[in-house]
A and B are shown apart, each in its own frame.
Chain A
């Protein structure tokens, strides 16, 4: 979480361009298109990522008043993952394998038969498992153009950056020494940073 309570750890981005006219409507449509959905287990998936109301993993009704908290825009990215322990999978697979061999009257199976059995066992186990739920708050300060994602996880940052690039129509640049300068449009200072060399603090002074 983070934005509303709990640990405060975040990655800062700069929103580079001013949002175009009509942005809010397009933004809401995009959020609603990518609202969180349960994991599509029957499609062989074990993970799902999508938006929820800020700080509320089960609130999937994204309305204006829940998202636009002037001067902030606030939502949460929910990630559900199902993990089946290897030992549990192996035990269930071995049992299914024996059943299938008895059914078909053979001990030697084709590769495709084994692959199908594996997929079948995985799907069955995933349907029975409870997903691990994590949410990561996203808060955009529309006054100063900074956007905070409440995590440092590389995996989540990459998912988030992909979603934003695909569906928000915004360009985000991660905060770093160089981008602090470029974000305020100081091309001259940005260029001068590239010419600097690290300072030696132990050598002999001139």
Chain B
């Protein structure tokens, strides 16, 4: 098998990687570990997501949404067997934030927004800009390696795949989709406009543990 054949026969792994990232972000409310020696990052899918089935004639669905998890169209596409072909990610590490659009099949990166540069000197700006891009690439590569490590482990992947199937079917949705209980001893004054309504999907229950399971 020549290199082109190998690239083509494994390109679907990129779409599985992006779908896995979405699942992980949902499951862990965005908090993802990059390993013991690195601080956890926050990662969210945002802005635009493209899902497609396999094969060249497969139907594609492109959706503009702030949160694909709340998009009926995106979740329906998942249930139809589509996976994420392209996604825009928001990644926060420490105090700094990046956004990037990734194409699953090639892992090609586009429309990157890096954190604001701190340096004022022109010569230094180039190095700082490249260092921030390097840092983004390093985080993405670590995430991909993490995915591959699970994906190629025949004892781990079936369990993860089952959890992903449940997530696709929404049989055991993440906590933030569950309706929080109404407390009978809550004050009966008129509702505060800023408080989320009881059935607001965006309300989180408890602060997540700082050490995510994945």
Contact = CB atoms under 8 A, between A and B. Distances in A.
Interface residues of A, number: 39
Contacts of A69: 126-127
Contacts of B161: 199, 201
Contact of A177 (B11, B109, B157, B166): B11
Nearest to A184: B145
A25 interface: no
Interface string A159-186: 0000000000000011111111100000
Contact of B165 (A12, A189, A203): A203
Nearest to A205: B162
Contacts of B106: 174-176
Contacts of A192: 152
A177 B107 contact: yes
A202 B80 contact: yes
B110 interface: yes
A18 interface: no
A202 B165 contact: yes
Given A72-B130, A175-B106, A194 B9 contact: yes
A160 B113 CA distance: 25
A202 B168 CA distance: 7
Interface of B: 1, 3, 6-7, 9-14, 16-17, 19, 54, 78-81, 83, 105-114, 125-127, 129-130, 133-134, 137, 141, 144-145, 148, 151-152, 157-158, 161-162, 164-166, 168-169
19 contacts: A3-B129, A4-B126, A72-B130, A74-B126, A141-B134, A175-B108, A176-B14, A177-B10, A177-B107, A177-B144, A178-B11, A193-B13, A198-B54, A199-B161, A199-B164, A201-B19, A201-B161, A201-B164, A202-B169
